[in-house]
Structure 1
């Protein structure tokens, strides 16, 4: 597998290769389109001016001499001849007459058009451009004007600068290579650190962090890695605490069940004490079952990113939840008073909403004094349904309020364990409310009671 730096080097090399090929093609284009074209156009312009000296009739010696005098001060070689076959005696290289002026070319000359020829000439060891213009009179070819010029090679156009050019290219390439190498090392350093940090993370070292040294994409990646590492570390710490707490919560009921069951099996307990021991075993088994179910429910609520929401009549769901808890309230002679708005319809999951209300109302019953009242109120404000569940129970100390939705958090650990509480109820409620895109608020005063407020979005009309 190629390293990223190697891939970048290969990419740079590819760009340089493409650039060189482009420059070669572009240079050839400039040579053909600019230099050759310019030379051709200049020769045609000179030829047309010299052609204008011919006034018709036979081509005179005077005209031929006058035209050839132009060679003294021109870069182009110019000859005027009466018969095109005479050119071979004028130019210093062999001319194939049939190739130079064939039937097609002769027809063009009779029409007064010029002819341009470009071909390699061994004597000059270069391309030679030729322009032929006619001397015509009454549709007769009386003679021709022949101009030729040996084109310079591309290398000759900048012959004196070639060494300087090559030296400059080499030095520039070395300079570019040096800075690219330095730049790649600087760019790759945080990536290498990030790679090492990932390897440490994969080995279980969740304290690993990388330095954020820039605000570019690599800096953002490093920042994202640190945030991810923080989240993983918190999750790992929560997992360890969670497992330790679960082990602690299960250890007590398991020890009770094991101890009393062994005592009963060995006939160490008899009579009324035996019946009491069986009740205790049943109670602790129920507590373990409830704890296990709550742990599973909490895990499911955390894993769910979304739930299916559909229209629900809120008052009906609350009444059904209260009905399920009536027997518990009757044991303590607690009256649940309701003030429900029958018109409120929310977007929610009925079973999960029941679970929310059952958990909160059950807590209110458990921590309320006997012969007291619990008030359940619903109303709508600014697109949200508001559910308030208020009791006049023992309340929650102010310092404990921020933590009551944490897993396994207990305000009164001794009382909660005796009542079978696990410290997971409000944590589950908090998760389920968030799944409904709602909010959970808890207000309490020790010795005066607690009010739990739940907001859930109303059905959009």
Structure 2
């Protein structure tokens, strides 16, 4: 399996190969365009200057000698001949006259143009560049000026520096390789740490974190991983606490139901105690049912993938339906439910979920209010929001408990909550449902004086 580092090495190798190929082609281009062309241009210039010695008429021996004297102080070989066939006696390699000067070349020479030829010559083991210029008089070809020069190979152009060049290239490769290795190691280190952290998390260790040493893409990835790990760790702790709390909450009613049912089955209880035991079993069964229903409701709220479908609802009618539903429960404690409702308030909400909010709030107010008191439910308009308040004259909530009151299974008075059938989930459900409606829940309370719960919901846009 290829690692990320090996892929980078492969990419660098590809770039090096492409660079070498480019440099080879570029060097060949420079050789052709600069060295060869420069040699050709220089030979033509020299030939044209030597051409000026010829004044017309027959090419004399004196002219030939004068031109060949140029060979003594130039690295370009120059010959002048009357007949091109005589060149074979002057140059140290075979010349094919027919290929050297054919009809086309003869036409160019008569027109005064120079002819350039490049070809490989075994005698020299390299390419030969030659230039032919004419000696013409009255449209007659009296002779030719022949210049040739063995082109140096590319390797010979830097023959003295080739060792230094190779040594320098080798040192450069070593230095570049070292820095590339160190650079890759530095770049890859955060990714290795990230991989180790991911493996730790896959084994259930959610405390794994990655040190962030840069602000580049890898640093941003490390930051994102750390945030994800914190969220997963928090969620894992919440789930563990939730499961432990659920187990604890169910253990007590199950033990009551199990113990008293076995006592009745085995006739351990006296007849006058059986009715009391059956009532206790029924109460604990109801409590387990209520707890299970509220747990399922919480799970449904947490797992809802789609937004709540909101539609216009007359707020006063919904609250009246809830108070009518809970009137019998309030009557048991001789509690009066007073309502002061603004009939014109229309909110955008899910009616069933909204009823659940008000049922939970009013039930809590009834449960924790003293007998013979009153509970007030009132609505009013505050800007673009409808404000709903449930005000009771109950036992109140200590100030230290108010910040945690909407947490799951949180109870102010655990003993009294269990006796009243409270699960500690009601306000948690209310808080989530209000948030689903883009609203806000606030609770104000004072011990032995009562509690005011305020819900703000967006009004329907006009």
Q: TM-score range, shorter-chain basis?
A: 0.7 to 0.9
Q: Call closer, same or farther: CA 1:205–1:228 in 2, change over 3 Å.
A: same
Query: Residue in 1 aligned with 2:149?
Result: 149
CA distance in 1, matches of 2:61, 2:318: 122
The offset of 1:246, in angstroms, is 0.7
CA distance in 1, matches of 2:112, 2:50: 14
- Is 1:376 paired with 2:381? no
Q: Call closer, same or farther: CA 1:34–1:261 in 2, change over 3 Å.
A: same
Query: Residue in 1 aligned with 2:201?
Result: 201
Worse overlay, 18-27 or 51-60:
51-60
Query: Residue in 1 aligned with 2:407?
Result: 406
CA distance in 1, matches of 2:417, 2:262: 27
Q: TM-score, normalised by structure 1?
A: 0.87
CA distance in 2, matches of 1:321, 1:114: 112
Query: Residue in 2 aligned with 1:3?
Result: 3
Deviations 1:421-441 (A, max 9, x none): 111122222233333444332
The offset of 1:27, in angstroms, is 1.7
Query: Residue in 1 aligned with 2:355?
Result: 354
CA contact (8 A) 1:398 1:444 kept: yes
The offset of 1:215, in angstroms, is 3.9
CA distance in 2, matches of 1:278, 1:233: 44
Query: Residue in 2 aligned with 1:453?
Result: 454
CA contact (8 A) 2:308 2:436 kept: no
Aligned residues: 459
- Kindly report the root-mean-square deviation, in angstroms, between the aligned alpha carbons of the 2 structures: 3.1
Deviations 1:127-180 (A, max 9, x none): 122233444566554444433222111111111111111112222222233333
Is the partner of 2:412 in helix, strand or coil?
coil
Is the partner of 1:99 in helix, strand or coil?
helix
Map residues 12-411 of structure 1 onto 2, 5 A cutoff.
12-51=12-51, 59=59, 64-136=64-136, 140-269=140-269, 273-313=273-313, 315=315, 316-332=317-333, 333-340=335-342, 342=344, 344-346=346-348, 348-369=349-370, 370-381=372-383, 384-411=385-412
Q: Call closer, same or farther: CA 1:109–1:242 in 2, change over 3 Å.
A: same
CA distance in 2, matches of 1:110, 1:309: 99
Is the partner of 1:91 in helix, strand or coil?
coil
Q: Call closer, same or farther: CA 1:436–1:70 in 2, change over 3 Å.
A: farther
Q: Call closer, same or farther: CA 1:281–1:76 in 2, change over 3 Å.
A: same
Deviations 1:244-290 (A, max 9, x none): 11111101111121222223333444656433333322222121112
Is the partner of 1:252 in helix, strand or coil?
helix
Query: Residue in 2 aligned with 1:426?
Result: 427
Q: Call closer, same or farther: CA 1:71–1:297 in 2, change over 3 Å.
A: farther
CA distance in 2, matches of 1:22, 1:152: 22
Worse overlay, 236-245 or 176-185:
176-185
Q: TM-score, normalised by structure 2?
A: 0.86
Q: Call closer, same or farther: CA 1:43–1:256 in 2, change over 3 Å.
A: same
Consecutive unaligned residues of structure 2, counting only runs of 5 or more, are none
Worse overlay, 96-105 or 27-36:
96-105
CA distance in 1, matches of 2:226, 2:361: 37
Worse overlay, 30-39 or 182-191:
182-191
